[in-house]
Amino acid sequence: MKIENCHTADIPEIFRLYRIASAYQKSKETVVIWPEFEQQLVETEIAENRQWKLIINDEIACIWATTFSDEQIWGEKNNDAAIYIHRIATNPNFRGKNFIAIIVDWAKKYAAENGKDFVRLDTLGNNSKLIAHYTNAGFSFLGMFDLNDTQGLPDHYHNAPACLFEIKC
C-alpha cells in the first residue's frame, strides 16, 4: 500500500470513482449527492500536487483532494494553519477497509511536515452515518453551519448546511 499524488493519466479513474460515489450516495438516499465535478478542478489539483491516491496492488483504492485554504467553508477558522481534505472516494473493490483511518494518519504527518496544526474536512447535510464515521476516526464534530458565499464552489455546496470536522495535530 502506498499514497502518492495523482497524475493526469489517473483522471478517467478519478471520475469513475466520483460517479460510483455519487451513485452510492443516491442509493443510500443521503442528503446531498455529489454533482459531476468539473474536469478543470481535478486538473488544477493534479498540477498543484493536491489530488491523492491510495494504491493497493497497483490499483487505485481511494482518492481525495487537499488544500491549505478553505475560506468559503471555514470562514474565520481558515486563519488557522490547517490542511483541508475533500472528496474522499473509495473504489468499490476496496469498500469497508476503513481507509479514513489511513487517510487520517497520513494527513496528520502531512500536516506536521507542512507546519499545520489541524486536519479538517466537511460533509454536507445531516448525514448521521457519515458524521459518526468521521468522529469514530478521531475528528471532532464542530456542528452544522450555513455557508454564506458558495459562489465558485461545486454545486452540492449551494443548498445544504456544512458539517465541519477537525483533528488537532
Query: What's the pTM value of the predicted model, to 2 decimals?
Result: 0.94
pLDDT given at position 21: 93
> Where in the chain are the domains?
2-168
pLDDT given at position 126: 86
CA–CA separation, 36 vs 139, rounded Å?
A: 27
Give yes or no for a contact between 45 and 51, defined as CB atoms under 8 angstroms apart: yes
3-state secondary structure (DSSP) of residue 148: coil
> To 5 degrees, how large is the angle CA 119–CA 70–CA 45?
90
pLDDT given at position 114: 97
pLDDT given at position 57: 96
Beta bridge partners of 84: 67, 120
Cβ neighbours of residue 29 under 8 Å, at least 6 residues apart?
Answer: none
CA–CA separation, 20 vs 71, rounded Å?
A: 28
Give yes or no for a contact between 84 and 74, defined as CB atoms under 8 angstroms apart: yes
Residue-by-residue pLDDT tens, the chain, 169 positions:
999 999 999 999 999 999 999 998 888 777 688 989 999 999 999 999 999 999 999 999 999 999 999 999 999 999 999 999 999 999 999 999 999 999 999 999 999 999 999 999 999 988 888 999 999 999 999 999 999 889 988 888 988 899 999 999 9
pLDDT given at position 27: 86
CA–CA separation, 8 vs 28, rounded Å?
A: 31
Grid cell for residue 169: 495535530
pLDDT given at position 38: 93
pLDDT given at position 22: 92
Fold of 2-168: Aminopeptidase (3.40.630)
